[in-house]
Amino acid sequence: MLNCYVLLCPLKVLFRTKAMQSQNKQERVYAMLKSMTGFGRFEAVSEERKLVVEIKSVNHRYSDISIRLPKKLSFLETAVRNKLKEYISRGKVDVFIGYEDYTEGKVCVKYNEELALAYWNNLNKLSRKLQMENDVTIAKLSRYPEVFSLEEQNMDEEEIWTFLEEVVEKAAEKFVQSRIDEGQHLKNDIFQKTEVLLELVFYIEERYPQMLKDYREKLTNKVKEILGDKQIDEAVLATELIVYSDKVCVDEETVRLRSHITNLRNTMEQEDNIGRKLDFIAQEMNREANTILSKANDMEVSARAIDLKTEIEKIREQIQNIE
C-alpha cells in the first residue's frame, strides 16, 4: 500500500539554498563576446519523468525572458527565471519546458483514524441503547464514507526542482555556447570592417596635401584669368590658402576616428555586456564621418567619407546583435 508523501521543507527555503549554491557557478557563464541570437536544448529522462528545455533568442534592447511551463510546474517559473539570469543579460528569449510525468495515475490510500473511531464509538452507543449486538466488522467499517479515500500522490517539489534545475543549466550552457560561436563570427566581421575604415581614413589623410595643391593651382589659374599679365600677390594667395586649408582640414576628425576604431577593437576583447558600449562608440564614429563629409570639398574625399558612413552603418547593424 502506498504512503502519501508529506512535504516537510517549504519550497522557498529550497530556493534560498540553491541560490547560495549558484553563486559559485558564475564561473560557468562564459565571459566572452556573445551574440544575442542563440539556441540551446537539453532533454533528460528518469524512471519517474521526462523533461525537455529549449531556449532560443533574438536581439533586443533589454532582457525579455518568456517562459512556457506546464501548468503542473508553474510554481517553478520564478526559480527558472532566476537561474536563466545567471546566463543571459540581454535579448528576447523564449524558453519552452516540456514535462511528462510517468507517475501520473498513481494514488495513495488515506486513512481517517478519527472518523473511523467516531463511527465505531457511535455504533457501540447505539448497540447499548438498543440492546443489540454490534455486528459491524472492520471490513464493513472501512466502507463507511471517508474512512478510507484515494488521493493522488503529492509531488516532491524539492526533487522535481533539483531535476529541472540541472536540465535548465545544461540547456543554458548549450545556448550560451551557440551565442559565443555566433559572437565570434560577428567579432571577425567587425574587425574586417574596421580594417576597411582604417584604409579609408588613411586615404583621406593622404589626400589632404593634394587637395591644397589642387586648390592652389585652381586659384592661381583663376586669378591669372582675371588679372591677365598682372603680377599675382602671393600674400593674398597665401591668405586664401590658409582660410581654405582651415575650412577643409579634417585632422581632428581622422585622429578621433582612429581613436574610436582602437577603442571599438579593445572593447570587443572585454568581457560580457559590451553591446551598448559598442553601439555608443559606433555612434561617435558616425559623427566624425558626418563632419568629414560636411567639410569635404573634393570629390575623392566625399566619396571616401560616404564609404566611411556606409561601413560604420554595417558595423552598427552587427553591433545590434551583440549582448
* Chain position carrying cell 566581421: 189
At 151 the three-state DSSP class reads strand
Cell of 177: 555556447
Q: What pLDDT, on the 0 to 100 scale, is given for residue 300?
A: 85
pLDDT value at position 178? Answer: 95
pLDDT score, position 235: 63
> Domain 11-103+156-178 falls in which CATH fold?
Ribosomal Protein S5; domain 2 (3.30.230)
Q: How far is CA 235 from CA 10, 155, 175, 204, 240, in A?
A: 91, 95, 70, 28, 9
Residue 204 and residue 292 in contact, taking contact as beta carbons nearer than 8 Å: yes
Q: Residue 196: what pLDDT?
A: 95
Instruction: Tell me whether the CATH fold assigned to 11-103+156-178 matches the one assigned to 180-319.
Output: no
Q: Tens digits of per-residue pLDDT, 83-108?
A: 999 999 889 999 999 998 877 655 56
Task: List the domain boundaries for the chain.
Answer: 11-103+156-178, 107-150, 180-319
6-22 pLDDT per residue, tens: 333 444 444 444 444 44
C-alpha span between 273 and 322 (Å, rounded): 8
Question: What pLDDT sits at residue 278?
Answer: 93
Positions in the chain short of pLDDT 50: 1-30
Its pTM stands at: 0.66
| Cell (9 digits) for 119 | 463511527
* 139: enclosing H helix or E strand: helix 138-142
Instruction: For 258-287, write each residue's pLDDT tens digit.
Output: 999 999 999 998 866 788 899 999 999 999
What class has domain 180-319? mainly alpha
